[in-house]
Amino acid sequence: MKIASEYLTGSPMSTDLQRSVEKERVDYFNESTGSLSDKLNSFSRFISRQNFAKFICYYEILKMTKDVSGSIIECGAYFGNAMMAYANLAAAFEPYNYQCKIVGFDTFEGDLGVSEKDKVNPYLKRENKDYLAKSYEDLTRAISIYDKDRPLNHMKKIELVKGDLCETAQVYVEANPSLSVRVLQLSVNLYKPTKAALDAFYPRVSKGGIVIVHGINYAAVGATQALIETVGDFNKIKLRTFDFYPNIVYFIV
């Protein structure tokens, strides 16, 4: 059975079974008991085990870096799941840590700059426009609502940066000379934007901070190469993962 496009998860790694189950979740959300407010307040009824596990990863990352000064930089904001998770967790656990901003970078036009280094992946074909999310205005609205319900809401907490990381990353650093980085999350999968982000932000990661690269040792061949070129051989760092969500690979600086 062909599943309509609105039930696709966005990832080219998704299986037909996952898409079918996603359709069931969407149908269940639309048909289940309770108002929309009731559903939002019982979100665990509707999200997948994978997304629930991913949320726990963000909590663990925030907890591991609770005493590290700096901002949380997410490269590949997509529909804002990680960005808003970090923001809400920070508001809950660190309500007065105004120095920690959450900064989301994205083209909002899908992946750009697929190179030859990305095309050697034996598991996954990378193409421009993968992970397309025209979500800039929508996320701007989400941030506006978030700001109305948190302490110190007169101070900016979340920033969105629109454009190609190969152009925006270094510009952001130059425009924010006092920047230090607590968490650098690289979710863009591709060599060029990952390398540009590492070149710009890695020197700003505080000792004890965390660098995350999705898909190491499996799906992100180009991003892996960018990490090696910037950080060096993997025996110089300890790559870690979570046993309940291995796609998030990280190391502590």
Q: Which domains does the chain have, with CATH numbers?
A: 1-46 (no CATH), 49-252 (3.40.50.150)
**pLDDT of 179-224, one tens digit each?**
999 999 999 989 999 999 999 999 999 999 999 998 888 778 889 9
What are the φ/ψ torsions at residue 199 (nearest 5 degrees)?
-60, -40
Give strand pairing partners of 161. 105
**pLDDT of 99-119, one tens digit each?**
999 999 999 998 887 888 887
**Looking only at Cα atoms, what is the longest distance across the chain?**
54
Helix/strand/coil for 205: strand
Give strand pairing partners of 212. 185, 250
Note if the pTM is more than 0.85. yes
The first and second tokens of residue 71, run together, are: 């901002």
171's CB contacts (< 8 A; 6+ apart) are: none
Q: What is the pLDDT of residue 120?
A: 74
**pLDDT of 76-105, one tens digit each?**
999 999 999 999 999 999 999 999 999 999
Q: What is the pLDDT of residue 194?
A: 96
Q: What is the pLDDT of residue 1?
A: 41
Query: What is the rounded distance in angstroms from the CA atom of residue 227 to the CA atom of residue 238?
Result: 13
Question: Tokens 């609770």 map to which residue?
Answer: 66
Give strand pairing partners of 242. 245
pLDDT average, residue stretch 108-136: 80
Helix/strand/coil for 211: strand
Asked if residue 210 lies in contact with residue 252, where contact means CB atoms within 8 angstroms, the answer is: yes
Q: What is the pLDDT of residue 68?
A: 97
Asked if residue 146 lies in contact with residue 139, where contact means CB atoms within 8 angstroms, the answer is: no
Is the pLDDT at 164 greater than 60? The verdict is: yes
Asked if residue 111 lies in contact with residue 190, where contact means CB atoms within 8 angstroms, the answer is: yes
Q: What is the pLDDT of residue 7?
A: 53
Distances (CA, A) of 212 to 43, 220, 248: 26, 12, 7
* Mean of all residue pLDDT scores within the chain: 91
Q: What is the pLDDT of residue 128?
A: 75
Task: Provide the percentage of residues in the chain whose pLDDT is more than 70.
Answer: 93
Is the pLDDT at 2 greater than 50? The verdict is: no
